[in-house]
Structure 1
Amino acid sequence: MGTIEAYETARGKRYRVRYRTPDHRQTDKRGFRTKRDADLFLASVEVSKATGEYIDPSRARITVAELGPIWLEAKRSRLKPSSYQALDDSWRVYVNPRWGKTPVSAITHSDVRTWVSQLAAGTAKTDRRDNIRTRAQGARPKEATTVIRAYSVLASVLDIAVKDRRIPNNPARGVDNLPRKVRKAHRYLSHQEVERLATACGEHATLVYVAAYTGLRWGELTALRVRDVDAVRRRLAVNENAVRVGADIHVGTPKTHERRSVPYLEFLDEAIARLCDGKTRNQLLFGDGDDYFGRPRSSEYSRSWFKTALEEAGLERMTIHDLRHTAASLAISSGANVKAVQRMLGHASAAMTLDVYADLFDDDLDTVSASLNRARSAAIAS
């Protein structure tokens, strides 16, 4: 058991509690106004030691800035570069400026809740560059994805503090004011619109056709090599994904780490053959030979060929990724089953495909209703 000693201060009598930690180090805590408060603290220490829940106050003084890099480094080896970059940016821009100097033991649930509200409103403390933009443009609400990611980074860092026995529980967990993600409506093109768009794209027409009729992601499209083309079976082997992260292009496995084979339409035979002509098996199908920086620029650039083509074709603003939605729509409307569409798109499961493209199956509800009505009529008539 520990001991309690009284001592005098300029503000009157105070009490000090001396006790031993589980590793037999002697320590103390002072400043108790009453002996009863000191007794309660000492009792709580003894109970926590007996139950294995003791938290060393000195370990609880570690700051979020000290734990954050440890968490990020563990994530680096498990995530794709683009996914890791999103977390690193969130840490640097939103989490560290607000919480970096704060000891993990000083963070309260209400503090985190207030921060989430400020993030959503665009008034939270951020890094210096973001602060300059905020002063110039005024506070702008952050997207739900941005807020949720920043909150998740903080909560995950504090999870480490809990597992390391630095704090008894995570004050960030259970926050109930996170913004809701609103899924944007998908933009689907018809066969006629795909044709107009591809025509307007000129030299990039084949790339647009492949995107609109196979559903490949941009990184998968631009990572295709000549060796990935099976002209006999009309298949494209999706083995790699090339993603730009900052100034670098990282090449790795597809998004779900699952390689797959995707069929392409017969009318593309000649166009794909022309793309392969004169290239070695290891050269890129789209772009200049082996150089990923020579591949076509994506639709994210303000003056991209794709945005110019959309204007010429008289189509609404969209991205190349939206052609993936078009591929799903055209496949389902042609009668393809959900499992086939899932495999074509590279989704982790058919359930995911149904969830993402639930709006494409509305007509099936009418079919179910009509079928049930016929079955009822037949049953009653008999």
Structure 2
Amino acid sequence: MATIRKRTLPSGKSVWQCDYRDGSGARRSKQFGLKKDADAFLSKARHEVGQGTHVADSQSVTVNEACKLWIERATNEGLERSTLDQYRQHSDLHIKPMLGAQKLSRLNGPAVQKFADDLAKTLSKAMVKKVLSSLSSIFAEAQRHGYSAINPVKTVKMRTNKRDVKKIEMPTKAELSAILKATPEQHKPLIWTAAFTGMRASELRGLSWDDVDLDAAVIHVKRRADKYNNISFPKSAAGTRDIPIAPSVVALLKAWKPQCPKGELNLVFPTGAGNVENHGNLLSRIFWPIQIAAGVSVKTKEVDQNGDPVMDAKYSLHALRHAAASLFIEQGMKPKRIQVLMGHSSIQMTFDTYGKLFPDEDDDASAVLAIENRLLSTS
């Protein structure tokens, strides 16, 4: 039986105490300064007990403790080092400082919404979403242990504005052509493969000759290299895919294979010693100098010894991935096919990234023209 009674504490302070039994039958109590707060809590507790979701404050844990449980589980599951580092950053830099001392049972939707709104004052919306995703996983892990009744992160809404959509940074056709022409012979296999397949840099760095079928002109994407140069599987099932390669790329790879440095991993684009190439080296030693040589560059505030402005490359290696997707779309490939080739986990991700590149207006005009012709031809 649940009751509310007024109590006078030894200190002389008067409180309203809720007495009730939780889902396991254990007696619980909670005190409030105002009767209306006690009434509201008891009504909520009764509903949660009836639903089998109630967790008493005394049985809950703090966000700090929940973060520790979450990291421990992720570690035991053998997640990549880079993923664990990201989880720790979200936890240590954003979640713990703002919510760490609070118990999960006292965090509701409005409280988490305020947390998200406060984060948005200093972080990008993309980062806020990532931190909220981590917080949601923390609550989910706590629920598995019986420390939280709900996951309030699911009620949080993030406002989106078309002006907040980040413009895709990629070379124009003229810039891409200049980059390809300026690429030295020894780097053509890498740059051509990146530009014509849309593979991620991590996938290029982890690509093995075992996964390149030059006779069938297909690359089987099965692995990737993380930022610590460890080889692992793609992060999602969609990342494992087959990508057709152009004849020019086949020819370049065939010529490159006998010259390619040998190593235990049998990599297509390794270091001189046959090991996994560092992502930073691909940029600073290969792709950035190529762009500057091609004139695909921007002025910096620095000047050289002759007083001329120092030029900087315009694009990251990821820009070649976007350029490849743009060319796929231009050739009339359907969104679902683009999703497969790019290794996106959902069609929504494809539309979120490349939606503006699909020729909607042309499709609409063609559809209207077809309707008109069909109607007029029957009249």
TM-score by length of 1: 0.74
Q: Which residue of 1 aligns with 2:95?
A: 95
Distance 2:244 2:18 in 1: 74
Cα 1:206–1:26 shift into 2, 3 Å: closer
The reply on whether 1:346 has 2:327 as its aligned counterpart is no
Q: Which residue pairs with 1:222 in the alignment?
A: 205
Counterpart CA distance in 1 for 2:37 and 2:212 is: 76
Matches within 5 A, 1:199-210: 199-202=181-184, 203-210=186-193
Aligned 8 A contact 1:220 1:240 in 2 = yes
**Equivalence for 1:376:** 372
- Indicate the percent of aligned positions where both proteins have the same amino acid: 24
Q: Answer yes or no: is the 8 Å Cα contact 2:229–2:278 preserved in 1.
A: no
Selected match of 1:321 from 315, 318, 323:
318
Q: Please list the CA deviations of residues 154-191 of structure 1 after superposition, one character each: whole Å capped at 9, or x if unmatched.
A: 34323444565545544544234556683322244455
Offset at residue 353 of structure 1 (A): 3.8
CA distance in 1, matches of 2:219, 2:229: 22
Q: What SS does structure 1 have at the residue aligned with 2:168?
A: coil
Q: Distance in 1 between matches of 2:136 and 2:156?
A: 10
CA distance in 1, matches of 2:205, 2:54: 55
**Residue deviations 1:240-280, cap 9 Å, x none?**
11121xxx223112343353332222223442123211555
Distance 1:24 1:93, change over 3 A: same
1:18 and 1:27 in contact (8 A); partners too: yes
Partners of 1:323 and 1:148 lie apart in 2 by: 26
Distance 1:44 1:93, change over 3 A: closer
Q: How many Å separate the matches in 2 of 1:173 and 1:318?
A: 36
**Cα distance between partner residues in 2 of 1:164 and 1:8:** 34
1:273 maps to 2:291: no
| CA distance 1:268–1:174, shift in 2 (3 Å) | closer
1:297 counterpart = 2:271: no
- Root-mean-square deviation over aligned CA pairs: 3.9
Q: Is 2:265 aligned against 1:264?
A: no
Equivalent residue letter for 1:216: M
Query: Structure 1 residues 99 and 320, CA, compared in 2 at 3 Å: closer, same or farther?
Result: same
- The match for 2:267 is 284
- Distance in 2, matches of 1:41 and 1:260, equals 52
Residue 362 of structure 2 is matched in structure 1 by 366
Which of 288, 291, 312 in structure 2 is aligned with 1:307?
Answer: 288
Range 75-84 or range 248-257, more displaced:
75-84
- 1:36-115 alignment, distance < 5 Å: 52=52, 54-60=54-60, 62-76=61-75, 77=77, 80-107=80-107, 109-115=109-115
Give the letter for the 2:94 counterpart. Answer: Y
Shift of 1:352: 4.9
Taking structure 1 as reference, are residues 343 and 5 closer, same or farther at Cα in structure 2, changes over 3 Å only?
closer
Any stretches of 5+ residues in structure 2 without a counterpart? 298-313
CA distance in 2, matches of 1:367, 1:43: 56
One-letter amino acid matched to 1:291: N
Q: State the alpha-carbon separation in 2 of the partners of residues 18 and 225 from structure 1.
A: 65
**Mapped partners of 2:40, 2:353: distance in 1:** 55
What is the CA distance between 1:80 and its match in structure 2? Answer: 4.8
- The amino acid that maps onto 1:347 is H
**Distance change in 2, residues 1:79/1:145 (3 Å):** farther
Q: Could you report, residue by residue, the CA deviation over 1:41-81 in whole angstroms, capped at 9, with x for unpaired residues?
A: 88987786666455333113x21111112123334528554
- How far has the Cα of 1:294 moved from its partner? 6.3
Matched, 1:186 2:186: no
What runs of 5+ residues in structure 1 fail to find an aligned partner?
A: 123-141
Q: Please tell me whether residue 198 in structure 1 is matched to residue 180 in structure 2.
A: yes
SS at match of 2:281: coil
Q: Which residue of 2 aligns with 1:150?
A: 131
The answer as to whether partners of 1:15 and 1:30 remain within 8 angstroms in 2 is yes
* 2:12 pairs with 1:11: yes
Please say which of residues 287-296 and 64-73 is displaced more in the overlay: 287-296
Is 1:253 the counterpart of 2:214? The answer is: no
TM-score normalised per structure 2: 0.75
Aligned residue for 1:58, secondary structure, equals helix
